[in-house]
Structure 1
Amino acid sequence: MKSIFTLFIAFLTITTFAQKDFQGKATYMSKTSVDMDNFGGGQMSEQQKKQMMERMKNFLEKTYILSFNKNESSFKEEAKLDAPGTQGSRWGSSNGQGSIYKNLKERKIIEDVEMFSKRFLIVEDMEQPKWELGTETKKIGNYTCYKATMVKVDKSVDFGSIFGRRGRGNQQEKDSTKATEKEDVKTLEVTAWYTPQLPVSSGPDSYWGLPGLILELNAGRTTMLCTEIVLNPSDALEIDKPTKGKEVTRDEYNVIIKEKTDELKERFQNNRGGGRGRF
């Protein structure tokens, strides 16, 4: 009964605010952990692990901005400038390009991404996520948040399996091929904390579908936490729908990336004399 009552109050809050011009910006800090014990085939020294983690920091720790109104939202990584004296490119550094656009009215989500020097628009229909609403609460800043969980199919590209791992040679490649042939379905456990006090059915990354803005999200090894919210800023927000790029489905995009990375992998192995090279 408490869960039903909570859901009723949440939807009532959204209905009330939906009559107003409601918009805002939310800043999220994202952190992803890596299993360094198995990274590089488990043959790295502690010093090498520390050096690798430092090089990957820009990829594993990022800041994002979610701009939203009652129908649309755009989730985009905050561009960062290199510190004075920095040389070379940084892994995972952002140039301010790319976004995840959601349109609740049209039920469409568009991910704008650049890969292999080509821009893609990954277009998907927004099917209602199968969230399980709980009664557990906690405070995030000044907002009371409720817990929601789900297990979803993970269609993201697994670059680790594409590039392979060191340590088992040809047998590993055979095992990898068998795994690919089976087309095992990957799943992802997701925990979200949302607040009905912010009546927007959106959140970080591609997540949405709860009766309030998602302020914290845990998906696999990644955690995203909202650190700042600005409501109804003096300058009206412009949420642009991505239009430049080759329009593809998620499955089509994954096939393209798999083919391109296989080409790079083969080229790399040939340059190393065949067989032993790995990314």
Structure 2
Amino acid sequence: MKSLVVTLLLLSTACLSVSAQKMEGEITYEKTYHWTRIYSRLTFLSNEEKDRMKMTWGKNDEYKKDMKLYFNENKTFYSYPQNQENDGGWSWNEKDFRIYRDQQNEKRTDVIEMLGKTYIVEDSIQSPKWKVMNKIKEIAGYMCMMAVTEDTIKGQKITAWFADNLPVPAGPELYGGLPGMILELDVNDGDITVTAKKIEMKANKEDIGVPKKLKGKKITNRQYDQLLSTHIRDSIKAHRNPFWALPY
């Protein structure tokens, strides 16, 4: 009887320890572009634009860079890795791309530099219509399930792999809304892949909430979608690559 009581107490302590552990940490993703695949889909491009592409990229078909996602149970922040601190804030070495999600209040705040301006997309979170598939694979030590959806504006097939034992409905880029963290994102069968390579469960040193002051033009979800649709339509008519001016 005494050993049974001790065992029950140990199990109770273990359960309390697990439940008390905060769902908080950071994920390092590797984002890989395959430019030949991307441009091969843009059949409307002129020869001049294709020549420009060859001069720009040459034989460097593959391009990789790291991205970071900081998360807790209620909020996430996704952007380029922090390269230096500036007056207590963040600094980036590329075009502004800061993705904030407040799951508790279902609020989206995205700071995206595109079309020659910086826009602040501020609205409610609108998750894609995912279809969960009967496939699994391991990513960075976590067993993940497959889900698919479609970006009808950009004409892209999106495949996500999410870990339900990281119960945060978020992920890299602009994607989330699944019952677990997205650890891999595939755009158009490998045009771009974003894969978690390091997951650290630890307290966030910085506030990952939306800063009080943001510079840019505020727009809604609908206005953002309209900007993309109009730009892509006009680019196709002019035989130009629409993704020179906005993220692929």
Deviation at 1:230, TM superposition (A): 1.0
What's the counterpart of residue 160 of structure 2? 192
Whether 1:208 aligns to 2:213 is no
What's the counterpart of residue 252 of structure 1? 223
Identify the match of residue 75 of structure 1 among 75, 78, 84: 78
Whether 1:241 aligns to 2:241 is no
User: 2 CA distance for matches of 1:40 and 1:198?
Assistant: 42
Contact 2:45–2:239 (8 Å) recurs in 1: no
User: 1 CA distance for matches of 2:169 and 2:112?
Assistant: 23
Identity of aligned residues (%): 25
Contact 1:23–1:237 (8 Å) recurs in 2: no
- The residue type paired with residue 192 of structure 2 is T
Identify the match of residue 228 of structure 1 among 175, 183, 198: 198
User: 2 CA distance for matches of 1:141 and 1:61?
Assistant: 18
Structure 2: gaps of 5 or more residues: 1-16, 85-91, 242-248
- The residue type paired with residue 23 of structure 2 is F
What's the counterpart of residue 126 of structure 2? 127
Structure with the higher helix share, 1 or 2: 1
- The residue type paired with residue 81 of structure 2 is E
TM-score relative to the length of structure 2: 0.66
Q: 1:44 to 1:213 in 2, by over 3 A?
A: closer
Q: SS state of the match for residue 46, structure 2?
A: helix
> Aligned-pair RMSD on alpha carbons?
4.0
Please give the per-residue CA displacement for 1:194-218, whole angstroms capped at 9, x wherever unaligned: 1122221111011111121111111
Deviation at 1:27, TM superposition (A): 0.9
Contact 2:31–2:195 (8 Å) recurs in 1: yes
Deviation at 1:278, TM superposition (A): 7.2
Please give the per-residue CA displacement for 1:203-251, whole angstroms capped at 9, x wherever unaligned: 1011111121111111222211111111114x54420314413211244
User: 2 CA distance for matches of 1:18 and 1:104?
Assistant: 20
Deviation at 1:94, TM superposition (A): 3.2
Q: SS state of the match for residue 206, structure 1?
A: coil
Matched residue count: 208
Deviation at 1:51, TM superposition (A): 4.2
Q: 1:57 to 1:40 in 2, by over 3 A?
A: same
- The residue type paired with residue 64 of structure 1 is M
Q: SS state of the match for residue 203, structure 1?
A: coil
Q: SS state of the match for residue 172, structure 2?
A: coil
Whether 1:32 aligns to 2:42 is no
Q: SS state of the match for residue 28, structure 2?
A: strand
Structure 1: gaps of 5 or more residues: 1-15, 82-92, 155-185, 266-275
Q: SS state of the match for residue 101, structure 1?
A: strand
Deviation at 1:106, TM superposition (A): 1.2
- The residue type paired with residue 217 of structure 1 is L
User: 1 CA distance for matches of 2:61 and 2:66?
Assistant: 12
User: 2 CA distance for matches of 1:127 and 1:77?
Assistant: 23
Q: Answer with 214-223 or 245-254: which moved more.
A: 245-254
Q: 1:57 to 1:105 in 2, by over 3 A?
A: farther
Deviation at 1:133, TM superposition (A): 1.5
Contact 1:137–1:145 (8 Å) recurs in 2: yes
- The residue type paired with residue 207 of structure 2 is E
Q: Answer with 101-110 or 116-125: which moved more.
A: 116-125
Deviation at 1:96, TM superposition (A): 7.2
- The residue type paired with residue 120 of structure 1 is Y
Q: SS state of the match for residue 252, structure 1?
A: helix
Q: 1:227 to 1:54 in 2, by over 3 A?
A: farther
Q: 1:236 to 1:96 in 2, by over 3 A?
A: farther
Contact 1:78–1:96 (8 Å) recurs in 2: no
